[in-house]
């Protein structure tokens, strides 16, 4: 992919893993995850090693008992939420196909308009402002701006972007844990006059105990991202007054089973959520769209992954972009699969 920079580093390729789980009913489920080592601590290689172990656990097990299958993985190993999410996704694909329903209907959802933001990676203020103008010209109405390298420069980045696009576009920012407490106060106070919707994860998670204080001082609303991996994290963050919003990502939650618990925990506490992700292809993006359709407390959509410079599209079927809106047809299951011609050039193995 085109190089893309955030506060924790630069990615020039996506470390994705694709799986198929075959059933004795004659069909299979698909799953995809995207390792992002600077955030979750997994790589493509670690995902592949754990995938072999997980696959052995599930031979001749009931694929429709999703909770039991996922508990097997959690009992086998802590963490490894990225590769767990691919296995979770494949189970939900199987369950929806078995029911003859698109996944969102299987989950009790309904189609609604979903417009994604579009992300601007860290660069010079001038380059980021030019990118913002380009996105506006292509019809974007919501910008997500990566910050977190330097608080002073970050304020200048937002100032120039806002001046470039005017005040009709919504702007949200993501510091990816890049600021100290003092830098967060400086940056959030400095960017507030430019009409910022919210800031994701301003500080490292080891400063979570200072988030209630930051919430009291910040003129910009705070969204928890890396601070929330599961519904217990969500409960702690919300009840301690540490965030206004929560970002849900399958690579953190280990998939849809736990993502639904995060969603419900936040909904019970009147805390809206965002559907986020790593660098998934349209396969993983399709599952995210189905989940968003079935999750009414998801109010924000950061689902622009496949617009950020992927130089290959390994997906057949699946989600499509209509400008910055997403849609998908009613094919049973996730409705997406991998292109066999793409897979022919990939490392692959089978466990049976």
Give the residue numbers marked as catalytic.
146, 174, 200, 225, 249
CB atoms closer than 10 angstroms to residue 82: 31
Question: CA-to-CA distance for 211 and 202, rounded, in angstroms?
Answer: 9
The alpha carbon torsion through 145, 184, 159, 2 (nearest 10 deg) reads -30
How big is the chain, counted in residues? 352
- 3-class SS letters over the chain: CCCEEECCEEECCCEEEEEEEECCCCCEEEEEEEECCCCCCCCHHHHHHHHHHHHHHHCCCCCCCHHHHHHHHHHHCCCCHHHHHHHHHHHHHHHHHHHCCEHHHHCCCCCCCCECCEEECCCCHHHHHHHHHHHHHCCCCEEEEECCCCHHHHHHHHHHHHHHHCCCCEEEEECCCCECHHHHHHHHHHHHHHCEEEEECCECHHHHHHHHHHHHHCCCCEEECCCCCCHHHHHHHHHCCCCCEEEECHHHHCCHHHHHHHHHHHHHCCCCEEECCCCCCHHHHHHHHHHHHCCCCEEEECCCHHHCCCCCCCEEECCEEECCEEECCCCCECCEEECHHHHCCCCCCCCC
User: For residue 58, what are its two tokens?
Assistant: 């599930």
């Amino acid at each position: 992919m085109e190089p893309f920079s955030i506060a924790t580093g630069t990615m020039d390729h996506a470390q994705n893993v694709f799986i198929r789980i075959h059933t004795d009913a004659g069909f299979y489920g698909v799953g995809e995850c995207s390792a992002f080592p600077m955030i979750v601590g997994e790589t493509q290689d670690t995902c592949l090693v754990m995938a072999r172990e997980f696959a052995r656990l599930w031979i001749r097990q009931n694929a429709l008992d999703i909770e039991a299958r996922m508990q097997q993985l959690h009992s086998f190993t802590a963490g490894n939420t990225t590769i767990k999410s691919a296995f979770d996704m494949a189970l939900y694909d199987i369950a929806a196909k078995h029911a003859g329903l698109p996944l969102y209907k299987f989950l009790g959802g309904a189609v609604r308009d979903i417009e994604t933001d579009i992300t601007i990676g860290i660069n010079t203020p001038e380059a980021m402002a030019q990118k913002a103008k380009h996105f506006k010209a292509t019809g974007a109405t919501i910008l997500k701006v990566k910050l977190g390298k330097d608080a002073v420069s970050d304020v200048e980045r937002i100032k120039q972007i806002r001046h470039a696009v005017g005040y009709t576009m919504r702007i949200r920012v993501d510091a990816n844990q890049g600021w100290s407490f003092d830098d967060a106060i400086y940056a959030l106070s400095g960017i507030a006059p430019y009409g910022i919707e919210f800031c994701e994860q301003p500080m490292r998670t080891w400063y979570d105990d200072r988030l209630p204080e930051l919430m009291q001082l910040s003129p910009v609303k705070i969204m928890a991202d890396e601070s929330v991996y599961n519904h217990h994290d969500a409960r702690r963050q919300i009840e301690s007054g540490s965030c206004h919003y929560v970002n849900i990502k399958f690579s953190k939650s280990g998939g849809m089973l736990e993502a639904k618990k995060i969603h419900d925990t936040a909904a019970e506490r009147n805390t809206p959520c965002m559907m986020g992700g790593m660098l998934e292809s349209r396969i993983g993006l399709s599952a995210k769209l189905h989940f968003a359709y079935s999750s009414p407390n998801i109010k924000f959509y950061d689902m622009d992954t496949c617009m950020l410079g992927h130089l290959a599209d390994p997906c057949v079927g699946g989600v499509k972009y209509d400008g910055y809106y997403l849609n998908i047809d009613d094919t049973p299951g996730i409705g997406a699969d991998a292109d066999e011609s793409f897979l022919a050039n990939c490392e692959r193995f089978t466990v049976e």
